[in-house]
Amino acid sequence: MEAMEAILSRRSIRKYTGNLINDNEIQALLNAAMAAPSSSNGQPWHFVTITDRRPLDEIPKFHPYSNMIKEAPLAVVVCGDLQLEKGKGVWVQDCSAATENLLLAAHAMGLGAVWLGVYPIEERVNGLRAILALPSHIIPLCIIVVGHPAEKKTPANRFNPERVHQNKW
């Protein structure tokens, strides 16, 4: 799939078949995520892959928009490492770039994925800290739920020329 096609046709997928994601596919997703740009090349990210049903089934207890995770074979928690960030607070931008790369890679590979926000909502951050035993300097930014899609969505044209300003507001 060409890059522009992947960008313009990617959609959030919330329904999955029962098919598992293999280790090579997981490796490819993480490779794409870590190819993202980051401030001063700090790469302040860590990724926790979850394939065990026990923690996957715990997430909806503290994240109200995560019920689709019950059908998914994989979740990737994208985390920022405060000890690795090159500038205060830039870990959020860096990890967001890695997240988008992961989402686009999943789509290009024929997988479905959805981004679930975690940070800065304290209940969600603390819930993931507890089930994943995250150190205090590691902050979970989001959960990417991944699976083989059981739904197909048409591309959405979100271009809005009213949001474009040239040279000045």
Strand pairing class (45-50; 112-117): unpaired
72-129 pLDDT, tens digit per residue, is 999 999 999 999 999 999 999 999 999 999 999 999 999 999 999 999 999 999 999 9
68 CB-near residues (< 8 Å, 6+ apart): 14, 15, 16, 114, 145
pTM > 0.85: yes
- The pLDDT value recorded for residue 1 is 85
pLDDT of residue 31: 98
Q: Which domains are present in the chain?
A: 3-152 (3.40.109.10)
